Amino acid sequence: MHKRVIFVDDEEQILAGLKRMLRPLRREWSMDFASSGAEALEKMEQKPFDVIVTDMRMPGMDGAQLLQIVSDRYPDMVRIVLSGYANEELVYKSVPFTHQYLAKPIEAEGLKAVVSRALALRSLLKNEKIKKLVTRVDTLPSMPKLYMSLLKELKSSDASTKSIGNIISKDLGMTAKILKLVNSAYFGIRRHVQSPEEAVMFLGLNTIKAIVLSTEIFSQYDETRLKNFSLGKLYEHSVTVGSFAKVIAESEVENKKNIGDSLMAGMLHDLGKLILIDNLPDQYSIVLEQVRNDGKLVWKVEQEVFGVSHAEVGAYLLGLWGLPDDIVEAVAYHHRPSHCVHHSFSPLTAVHVANWIAYHSQKSPVEKPEALIESAYVNLSRLTDKLPSWKQRCLQLINEK
């Protein structure tokens, strides 16, 4: 069945141009066009859509207002802004309701790539309830102490980009959200930004303050919601896997992008756990209980309970937010890398092995380390001889701290 995409723009010439530009895609997409937010909503009442691509500045109902309504009424729709207008107030209003922001003008291939990728990601999640839940995620919970530290620092008269970047880099939710924003077309940065510290430096203090304090893109995690779960331990494990993945990548490649993506993919590989725990704490308590009582792998129990694992959940959200393919791929397949179409060294390789080594480094690991390395992938990628040296390098990193 064709995927349905609706384009919204108040300029008839723009709509006509989109129709001409996208005509070759009629066999792949079923497309509708609306000249106002009101018209778009009328069309949505008549039939379902998978993706909305809207202009920002329109008379009557602007793009931010339209996306807020769409987010409430149709939470499973992918929401994309395509605009040549960057009024800061409108940008900040739309941040919580926008998955990606594209800048005009855009080539047909560029627009096709973004929409096609968003549609392809939907196949990662078979459970429609989970898909809707993840699509409507606009804030990610942060560790209370870090959240309060960030607010305090932002309100301080001597706040610095270095101190704010350092706080954000220590938190899963903050890291994912800030990378989403800085790598969008919102801020016109023409290079791939790979770290929270770099993101804060590029955006500047005023922008960071405006976004965090006015849009509530970060929220404080309620630690009473789920027993036997520690956000601090999840963070500690994520940072360890990120640093190990970076060490492994540095030993194999010289490409800074590959190394940076390995670090970020390692940091974000368990983001899906945070999403499931924050939104479905009762069901996730069942997962934790089964893992504790039966000794099963977390991701396998998640599949039994939810129909998907945290790997697919995290990858789906990061993909919707436009993070690089290498990071999304590493997060999606970090437990089952042999399911990926290629087996050459990549951030996926680094994260899969780093996760295994991280569990080896724990005094009382929740899961058995030997169950977390996929022998089929190790053999296919000819990694057997490299594992001992990678493990030694990573464990040495712990001893140096």
**Among 167, 200, 220, which residue terminates a domain?**
220
What's the rounded mean pLDDT across residues 364-390? 79
Can you tell me the distance from the alpha carbon of 96 to that of 31, in angstroms, rounded to the nearest whole number? 25
What's the rounded mean pLDDT across residues 200-208? 76
pLDDT higher than threshold 90 for residue 376: no
Q: What is the pLDDT of residue 276?
A: 93
What total number of domains does the chain contain? Answer: 3
30 strand-pairing partners: 4
Of 49, 42, 38, 36, nearest to 10 by C-alpha is: 36
What's the rounded mean pLDDT across residues 87-100? 74
Half-sphere exposure at residue 392, Cβ-oriented, CA atoms within 13 angstroms: 6
pLDDT higher than threshold 70 for residue 311: yes
Q: What is the pLDDT of residue 370?
A: 66
Q: Are residues 154 and 236 in the same domain?
A: no
Confidence of residue 184 (pLDDT cuts 50, 70, 90): low
What's the rounded mean pLDDT across residues 237-246? 90
Domain that holds residue 28: 3-124
pTM, entire model: 0.76
Can you tell me the distance from the alpha carbon of 253 to that of 260, in angstroms, rounded to the nearest whole number? 11
Confidence of residue 109 (pLDDT cuts 50, 70, 90): confident
Q: What is the pLDDT of residue 352?
A: 95
Whether 201 is in a domain gets the answer yes
Contacts of 336 (CB under 8 A, 6+ apart): 311, 374
Q: What is the pLDDT of residue 9?
A: 94
Whether 304 is in a domain gets the answer yes
- Tracing tokens 């670090």 back to the chain, one arrives at 263
Query: With pLDDT > 70 as the criterion, what percentage of the chain qualifies?
Result: 87
Pairing verdict, β 29-34 and 218-220? unpaired
Q: Are residues 295 and 360 in the same domain?
A: yes
Q: Which amino acid is at 63?
A: G
Q: What is the pLDDT of residue 190?
A: 55
Whether 225 is in a domain gets the answer no
Q: What is the pLDDT of residue 135?
A: 87
CA 338 distance to own-chain centroid: 22
Question: Across all residues in the chain, what is the average pLDDT?
Answer: 83
Whether 135 is in a domain gets the answer no
pLDDT higher than threshold 60 for residue 3: yes
Confidence of residue 360 (pLDDT cuts 50, 70, 90): confident
What's the rounded mean pLDDT across residues 117-128? 78
pLDDT higher than threshold 70 for residue 380: yes
Give me the CATH number covering residue 28: 3.40.50.2300
Whether 139 is in a domain gets the answer no
Three-class DSSP category at 76:
coil
What's the rounded mean pLDDT across residues 265-284? 91
Q: Which residues of 156-182 are buried (b: 16+ CB within 10 A; e: fewer)?
A: eeebebebbbebbbbbbbbbbbbbbbb
Q: Are residues 181 and 291 in the same domain?
A: no
pLDDT higher than threshold 80 for residue 19: yes
pLDDT higher than threshold 60 for residue 158: yes
pLDDT higher than threshold 60 for residue 218: no
Tell me phi and psi for residue 103, to 5 degrees.
-100, 140
pLDDT higher than threshold 90 for residue 286: yes
Q: What is the pLDDT of residue 178?
A: 80
pLDDT higher than threshold 60 for residue 396: yes
- Which of 22-26, 30-34, 139-143, 166-170 shows the lowest mean pLDDT across its residues? 139-143
Higher per-residue confidence, 211 vs 274: 274
pLDDT higher than threshold 70 for residue 369: no
Q: What number of residues does the chain have? A: 401
Q: Are residues 314 and 239 in the same domain?
A: yes
**Among 161, 194, 220, which residue terminates a domain?**
220
Q: What is the pLDDT of residue 395?
A: 86
Q: Which amino acid is at 239?
A: V
Confidence of residue 313 (pLDDT cuts 50, 70, 90): very high
Q: Which amino acid is at 28?
A: E
What's the rounded mean pLDDT across residues 279-283? 91
pLDDT higher than threshold 70 for residue 319: yes
Give me the CATH number covering residue 314: 1.10.3210.10
Q: Are residues 108 and 164 in the same domain?
A: no
pLDDT higher than threshold 60 for residue 42: yes
Confidence of residue 203 (pLDDT cuts 50, 70, 90): confident
Q: What is the pLDDT of residue 87?
A: 64
Asked if 310 and 276 count as a contact pair (C-beta separation under 8 A), the reply is yes
Whether 196 is in a domain gets the answer yes
pLDDT higher than threshold 80 for residue 284: yes
